[in-house]
A and B are shown apart, each in its own frame.
Chain A
Amino acid sequence: MPRPATRTKAVDHLMSDITAIDPEKIKVILATDCGSTTTKAILIQFVDGAYRQTHRGEAPTTVEKPFADVTMGVINSVTEIGELAGRRLVGDDGRIISPATETEGCDIYISTSSAGGGLQMMVAGVIAEMTAASAKRAALGAGSIVMDVIAANDGRRPHDQIQRIRDLRPDMILISGGTDGGTTDKVVQIAELVAPAKPQPRFGSDYEMPIIYAGNKDARDAVSSVFDEGGFDLQIVDNLRPVLERENLSPARDKIHDIFLEHVMAQAPGYDKLMGWTGAPIMPTPGAVGDILQTVARLQGINVVGVDIGGATTDVFSVFDETFNRTVSANLGMSYSISNVCAEATMPNVLRWVPFDMDERELRNHVKNKMIRPTTIPQTKEALMFEQAVAREALRLAYKQHKEFATTLKGVQQQRTVGDTFSQETGGMTIVNNMKLDLLVASGGVLSHAPRMHQTAMLLIDAFEPEGVTMLAKDSIFMMPHLGVLASVHPKAAEQVFDRDCLIYLGTCVCAKGSPKPGKLCFKYELSGSLTDSGEIAGGELKLIEMGMDDRAKIILTPARGIDLGAGPGKRVEKEVRGGTVGLILDGRGRSLSLPEDRATCQATVQGWLDSLDVYAEEKEAVAV
């Protein structure tokens, strides 16, 4: 029988703990993120009237055999922090000391986890672009990897769908479909595909496959009867699309978190112990990153895009007008998936970012070596430039996928007037608007560990093509997951640490939208404040103005005719810009960014851009080895 949409005892216990915590009394916070290979711990303390990240520690994750206990890695990383901070954090009993005193322990310990591949889900809905898309949004927003989306119109025959469900081994399945009072038959048909397939959970043979039903409320009984035969743990929550005009994702997301804790985490070695230590529910790492970005966007009233490029996948998060979206590009990454990036983007597209000739055969060998030896790092400047060219394409493709996914709802009735005669827009338009983007945050090895910050900034600008005035930042030590969980306990502390310690501001970029003519005026600028300067940017020109981390300046931008810098084509813009480790970047290349077709001209153009920003300047820190 299905269980009602209530929280389990374990989760209830944690939630009651959270509500019992007085944020004002929290002065020492310990947070860990248990990744697949590394467990990262940070210590946040209340210093001089503000929350600051003070120390960090790292240790190998111990979820796999021979240790098979995630807490060992946690204790190791926390011990390292304790030594660095001169504060005893682990007690004699091997547990984290809480609450804090003057010299030892912490007020709250929180954690995220992506160990063992994170949370993997399969979702289903009636129409791929409607309820199934909403189900996918709910699953991704909760921090899961969506293995497949089953829908009535996905073009597959029922036996193919059943075979696919059988082949997958998700941690849980989310079924949606139908508005409240809408179709019942088709929702039951989907349930009838899942039930006979009898998918097996990834962990533990003794627990039943969790099924979350978040569809038409009129179909609940019929769906329940389909899963009556056993082998499933059916949980029913409110419809995530009660009407086509509105999404209600929170109940499904909460339930996913609950099941993640109760089932998935409980099956992973050592997590039952870890859950007993934490002061807030353990969250999937990507879900926590999404939460902190949402919190910051809400508190600061800004639109944010975040990207985390890993070896196998690239996560893109966006918050536009308080609407959160996350996508996981499963085949776009810098090591395991680098081959796929080159195949999908095509080698000419990758090489257009490289300002010199490279032997394609050698490059292919380099790509394959990177794939089978993912920890390899570039040994030469040329190899670094090539790798960053691949990163540009991986990020560009991931962002393109994100834009296609982050859309307005489909199937919604439109309200028109006669004035709309020649301007009818369809539903499902992307909500990602680069002109409205305020902050672009980068994380992931190739971005965070680039030898020069200028390279990170250039990668972001080339791949994401921000428009207007956009701030660029990178996550210094991949602290966002920790802060995501912290945001659920202490939003103020999370925001303060995010702003002061998590992000390293690279600077601000001012990018012209339109098609400026090469060499002709693109826009004029006038700076006042910490920095006084004025000048003109020509079409195709990139200019870097040094601006320190603490510098703030007012910038007045006067675009040429047809060029948009945020207020409309040709209209004057006045904004405040902040500096960073790179400075203020003025980009007159136009949008969308296009490179010359001719290889020699393209190389010369790219070299010019790289020189403008001093991207690969020879300096002592040089290439990491």
Chain B
Amino acid sequence: MKTVLTLLLVVASAAWTTHSFAADITLAPPTHVSAEDVPNDIGTQVLIKWHASPDEENAGTRSLDGYAIYRKIAQTSEGLESIGEAGADASELGFPANFDFEDTQPIGSVSYGRTKFVDENVEAGNSYLYAVAATGPGGTYSPISVASSPVTAEMQWFNGGKFWFLIITAVISFVIIAFVVIAKKGGEIRVRKIAGLEAVSEAVGRATEMGKPVLFVPGILDINDIQTVAGITVLSNVAKTSARYDAKLRVPTARSLVMTTARETVEAAYLGEGRPDAYNENDIYYLTDEQFGYTAGVQGVMVRERPAACFYMGAFYAESLILAETANSIGSIQIAGTAMPSQLPFFVAACDYTLIGEEFFAASAYLSNDPEQLGSLKGQDIGKIMAAGLLVVGCVLATIAVTSESRTAQIAELYIKDNILGADGLVPNADKVAQIDAELDAQAQQPHAGGGGGS
């Protein structure tokens, strides 16, 4: 009996001892821990890498959950040594051999299978020492594996990975500046005819001949919407033409701020044309913020006053077709301009002229003929042509890369995707190139299916 009790005590003691040690060291640690500063950042990131714990291979059966990452400040940017966040002794720069997992919070953790971690919470100029431990269920840990040397997070003034972005920006900026200079020196900046804007004087002229007013609808959104701003720019031109032709101009608005802006714009236009007497602020009025209430109000104006020219310039939703069809039924010339793709078909079908997206935003430069605006417009066009060209080249290369397995095409596609449009800088990433080469080699070594003939 005594022997049995002694045996039970020994077993129990052994079991406690095993459990106690198992909580700390039961897993094999990761190896080759290293840390490096993440390039092309503002010094707030450090990349920690390691080789997986040998136990990870048995993750299905052995209890390996992932990895915990620990950090200690080795030295601050002021040159002061730090005790670090690991809670270790202040005088100790490295991680102690008897690392206390219970009291130390890791700065991050990742699941098994991963061997990288980016610490995004570091300060530029500080040096950090990192350690990684494998973790298992029930709070089990492997011994920590410490990086061989501390790493200092550094800020880079230039993001080398985005060098192409710099080149493209510089080229477009140069083109814009060049065109602005050319325009200012009297050079001809040719902008293609935009029918809708050319027809402004025609529409106002029609209203004048017919003795009917001109109706301008600046959309239903507020002045903070860029389309409304573009619409107000066109309103300025319409108001100038109306002042010159002595035509009546009506501007019902759906927002009070738009009304105020429109009033100032129209007043300035009338003043500029030497017709301040013809300006009447009551012709520019607020109806309601309510979408269909506003629509009904504008329709009422159309039916009662039968304007000979209607302009719709701004942001429109479901009311677009209602307004355009009503004005069409009274025989108005209609000119619309919006960047709402869903409303464009309605305007195109029901109106005489429609400014489509970019045309609408180009209206300001087109109408003012201001060299700076025209130069800028031209420069932006060059940028768009470049983007479109790159898109086409990329598509062609991608197609060739897929269909022909050409190394050159694949490298070129990679270059456009990851270097020009991505963040790999000027030189192609050697790892990615190696990966392409490896895949091509693998494909080359595969036997051709169905290629053999029977004997």
Using CB atoms and an 8 Å cutoff, list the residues of chain A in contact with chain B.
Answer: 126-127, 129-131, 152-153, 177-179, 181-186, 241, 244, 410-411, 413-414, 416-418, 420-421, 424-428
Contacts and interface: CB of A to CB of B under 8 A. Distances in A.
A416 B211 contact: no
A421 B356 contact: yes
Contact of A177 (B209, B351, B353): B209
Report, nearest first, the 4 A-B pairs whose CB atoms are least far apart.
A183-B211, A411-B206, A414-B352, A424-B195
B244 to A, nearest CB: 6
Contacts of B352: 413-414, 416
B381 interface: no
B196 interface: yes
Contact of A186 (B208, B331, B333, B354): B208
B210 interface: yes
6 contacts: A185-B211, A411-B205, A411-B209, A426-B193, A426-B199, A426-B202
A183 B208 CA distance: 7
Contacts of B351: 416
Given A127-B205, A418-B349, A428-B202, A413 B332 contact: yes
A425 to B, nearest CB: 6
Interface in B187-242: 193, 195-196, 198-199, 201-203, 205-206, 208-212
Interface in B337-388: 344-345, 348-354, 356
B354 A127 contact: no
Contacts of B344: 421
Interface in B416-451: none
A592 B213 CA distance: 42
B377 to A, nearest CB: 19
Contact of A130 (B205, B246, B349): B205
Given A153-B244, A414-B353, A421-B354, A427 B205 contact: no
Contacts of A179: 209-210
B211 A244 contact: no
A178 B244 contact: no
A368 B208 CA distance: 46
Interface of B: 193, 195-196, 198-199, 201-203, 205-206, 208-212, 244-246, 331-333, 344-345, 348-354, 356
Contact of B206 (A185, A244, A420): A244
Contacts of A181: 210-211
A130 B195 contact: no
B246 A244 contact: no
Nearest to A128: B205
A177 B208 CA distance: 10
A185 B356 CA distance: 37
Given A131-B209, A410-B205, 14 more contacts: A127-B205, A130-B205, A152-B245, A178-B210, A183-B210, A183-B211, A184-B211, A186-B208, A244-B210, A411-B333, A416-B348, A421-B344, A421-B348, A426-B353
A178 B211 contact: yes
A424 B334 CA distance: 13
B193, B203, B245: residue with the most chain A Cβ atoms closer than 10 Å: B245
Nearest to A215: B209
A182 to B, nearest CB: 4
B393 to A, nearest CB: 24
Nearest to A183: B211
A411 B356 CA distance: 22
A126 B206 CA distance: 10
A394 to B, nearest CB: 25
B199 A427 contact: yes
Nearest to B355: A424
Given A418-B348, A421-B348, A424-B353, A126 B208 contact: yes
Contacts of B202: 129, 410-411, 426-428
Nearest to B332: A413
B248 to A, nearest CB: 11
Nearest to A126: B209
Nearest to B196: A424
A334 B327 CA distance: 52
Contacts of B245: 127, 152-153
Contact of B210 (A182, A414, A418): A182
B254 to A, nearest CB: 26
A244 B205 CA distance: 10
Contacts of B244: 153
Contacts of B356: 421
Contacts of A186: 208, 211, 246
Contacts of A183: 208-211
A269 B202 CA distance: 46
A165 to B, nearest CB: 19
Contacts of A427: 199, 202
Nearest to B351: A416
A241 B333 CA distance: 17
A185 B247 CA distance: 11
A163 to B, nearest CB: 19
Nearest to B328: A413
A97 B201 CA distance: 58
Contacts of B211: 178, 181-186
B208 A152 contact: yes
A426 B195 contact: yes
A181 B211 CA distance: 8
Contacts of B332: 413
B307 to A, nearest CB: 13
A241 B210 CA distance: 11
Given A424-B354, A426-B198, A426-B199, A413 B209 contact: no
